[in-house]
């Protein structure tokens, strides 16, 4: 099996990657391609991400709900751009029953059981939600409506990559409805900033936010804003999106409300989402040749204690270590005590390093005699001898330090791989040799964008607030243009 799709840093990479997900399990039993099994440890990371993000989403005033997996074909086809955008990557349910084959050895689709109207497995939930919204919303008093859904969705991509682009993925999608465009635009930016803050505060990832170009925007939106992260190889990864849907969907799903003057109006909508792709960003950003580094705030195991003993001092060391464990869990959660027998300490160290556990505590006879423990941080591999009485304080401080250090590494990477260029030759040089984010001017013509993509593989990633104000010659056609951020995208 190979995991080459996801920025291998070394041969070791593919090994520890498999501790988190497993594609083989599924591939053997099923012809489902491009889906993946997320193993318990990987899923525990996802659960922690969910928990923290869910809290922030609710803080914004959104409530969780759940809508159907299947969308009637007619719903999806209501918004013209929306259909065009998703038509080519939909899984479609056409029948509802199987029957035994004539030879009795298997099953086949029962042609009698054809659905009158095909169902589409949701590639996103705008249509099925908004059909319902049209019944929920009558008056300005019903607004704003803010609904969030945690769900799985299916996009039948031609080519898949673990975490970055799987046929089925887990995500969160927020959908809001507002009285005015001004208000909905505010929501779009709030969601965008929520993602940026989440990335930086929780995932320790520095990101860039801004508006997407027309060719990159969501099918059916007026405008799409994106959060772009930079991976260790300089390539960019769209991490989350927030869409200004305008009144496009309101009009086709007939969502109307009576405003404060008694007039019937179409509301303004937004939608925003992030997916398990975040896990990919996490893996690809915080990793070194030893394996993953999980930011402490979402680590399923924050601290692992590894007792080191020989037969003659086993009981003593275990007792001493357990004492420290009991002391530590008073102040720190997610502490693991690894007393598995007959596995060498070296094996254990390696295993926890692969999994990215931020702090490891080694306790052996030498430490016991000195009344100390050895504390090792995962990000720098730095070891220190700490007195038992100082362990709790030290570990708490270390966890904060690691979280900060990961973010500062991510910042440094982004800053040191961001360039500004003024002509096309320079643009091509930088893109081909350095990758990274390249600030350059573009006239806004999709043809120039397309040509640049064909010739360099670089696409517009987004336009920042400052970029909009900064005008100069388009690097391709030299007509006047605004500044955009280009990059090579995953």
Residues of this chain that interact with RNA (CB under 7 A) are 1-2, 4-5, 12, 15, 23-24, 27-28, 31, 33, 85, 88-89, 155, 157-159, 164-167, 169, 216, 218, 226, 238, 241, 275-277, 290, 308-311, 341-347, 349-351, 353-354, 362-368, 374, 376, 381, 457, 489
Strands 145-154, 480-487: pairing is unpaired
Nearest to 434 by CA among 275, 272, 236: 236
What is the closest distance, in whole angstroms, from the C-beta atom of residue 212 to RNA in the complex?
Answer: 9
DSSP count for the chain of H helices, then E strands: 16, 28
- Among residues 145 and 485, whose Cβ is nearest to RNA? 485
What is the closest distance, in whole angstroms, from the C-beta atom of residue 264 to RNA in the complex?
Answer: 33
Structure tokens at 437: 């984010």
* Residues 6 or more apart in contact with residue 118 via CB below 8 angstroms: 72, 73, 92, 93, 94
What is the closest distance, in whole angstroms, from the C-beta atom of residue 108 to RNA in the complex?
Answer: 16
Strand extents, DSSP E, 29-106: 37-38, 63-64, 70-72, 92-95, 98-100
- Among residues 363 and 414, whose Cβ is nearest to RNA? 363
What is the closest distance, in whole angstroms, from the C-beta atom of residue 143 to RNA in the complex?
Answer: 27
What is the closest distance, in whole angstroms, from the C-beta atom of residue 311 to RNA in the complex?
Answer: 6
Asked whether 52 and 298 are in contact (CB, 8 A), the reply is: yes
- Among residues 240 and 295, whose Cβ is nearest to RNA? 240
- Among residues 257 and 463, whose Cβ is nearest to RNA? 463
- Among residues 5 and 444, whose Cβ is nearest to RNA? 5
CA distances for 173 relative to 46, 80, 98, 123, 187, angstroms: 16, 21, 33, 11, 14
CA atoms of 440 and 452, how far apart (whole Å): 12
CA atoms of 336 and 324, how far apart (whole Å): 12
- Among residues 14 and 132, whose Cβ is nearest to RNA? 14
What is the closest distance, in whole angstroms, from the C-beta atom of residue 366 to RNA in the complex?
Answer: 3
- DSSP H stretches of helix in 304-445: 314-328, 345-355, 365-370, 391-416, 424-434
What is the closest distance, in whole angstroms, from the C-beta atom of residue 31 to RNA in the complex?
Answer: 5
- Among residues 137 and 459, whose Cβ is nearest to RNA? 459
CA atoms of 261 and 271, how far apart (whole Å): 27
CA atoms of 2 and 217, how far apart (whole Å): 32
């Amino acid at each position: 099996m190979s995991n080459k799709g996801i920025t291998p840093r070394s041969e070791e990479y593919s090994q520890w990657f498999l501790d988190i997900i497993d594609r083989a399990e599924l591939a053997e039993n099923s012809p489902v391609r491009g889906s993946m099994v997320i193993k318990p440890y990987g899923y525990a990371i996802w659960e922690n991400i969910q928990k923290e993000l869910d809290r922030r989403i609710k803080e914004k005033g959104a409530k969780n709900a759940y809508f159907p997996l299947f969308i009637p074909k007619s719903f999806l086809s209501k918004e013209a751009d929306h259909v065009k955008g998703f038509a080519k990557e939909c899984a479609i349910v056409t029948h509802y029953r199987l029957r035994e084959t004539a030879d009795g050895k298997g099953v086949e689709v029962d042609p009698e059981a054809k659905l009158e109207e095909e169902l589409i497995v949701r590639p996103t939930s705008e249509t099925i939600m908004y059909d319902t919204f049209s019944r929920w919303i009558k008056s300005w008093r019903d607004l704003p409506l803010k609904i969030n859904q945690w769900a799985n969705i299916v996009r039948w991509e031609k080519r898949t990559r673990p975490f970055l682009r799987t046929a089925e993925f887990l995500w969160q999608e927020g959908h809001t409805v507002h009285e005015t465009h001004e208000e909905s635009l505010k929501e779009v930016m709030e969601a965008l900033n929520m993602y940026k803050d989440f990335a930086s505060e929780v995932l320790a990832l520095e990101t860039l936010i801004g508006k997407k170009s027309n060719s990159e925007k969501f099918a059916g939106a007026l405008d799409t804003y994106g959060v772009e992260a930079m991976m260790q190889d300089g390539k960019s990864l769209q991490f989350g999106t927030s869409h200004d849907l305008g009144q496009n969907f309101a009009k086709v799903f007939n969502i109307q409300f009576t405003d404060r003057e008694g007039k019937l109006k179409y509301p303004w909508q937004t939608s925003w989402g992030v997916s398990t792709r975040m896990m990919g960003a996490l893996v690809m950003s915080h990793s070194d040749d030893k394996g993953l580094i999980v930011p402490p705030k979402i680590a399923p195991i924050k601290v692992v204690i590894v007792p080191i003993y020989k037969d003659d001092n086993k009981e003593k060391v275990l007792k001493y270590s357990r004492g420290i464990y009991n002391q530590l869990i008073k102040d720190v959660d997610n502490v693991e005590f690894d007393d598995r027998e007959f596995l060498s300490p070296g094996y254990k160290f390696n295993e926890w390093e692969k999994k990215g556990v931020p702090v490891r505590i080694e306790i052996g006879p030498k430490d016991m005699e000195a009344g100390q423990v050895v504390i090792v941080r995962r990000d720098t591999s730095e070891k220190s001898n700490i007195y038992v009485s100082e362990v709790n304080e030290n570990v708490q401080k270390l966890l904060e330090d690691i979280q900060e250090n990961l973010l500062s590494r991510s910042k440094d990477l982004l800053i040191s791989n961001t360039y500004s260029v003024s002509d096309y030759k320079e643009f091509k040089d930088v893109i081909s040799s350095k990758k990274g984010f390249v600030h350059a001017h573009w006239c806004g013509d999709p043809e120039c964008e397309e040509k640049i993509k064909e010739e360099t593989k670089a696409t517009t990633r987004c336009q920042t607030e400052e970029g909009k104000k900064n005008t100069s010659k388009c690097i391709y056609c030299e007509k006047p243009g605004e500044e955009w951020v280009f990059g090579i995208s995953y």
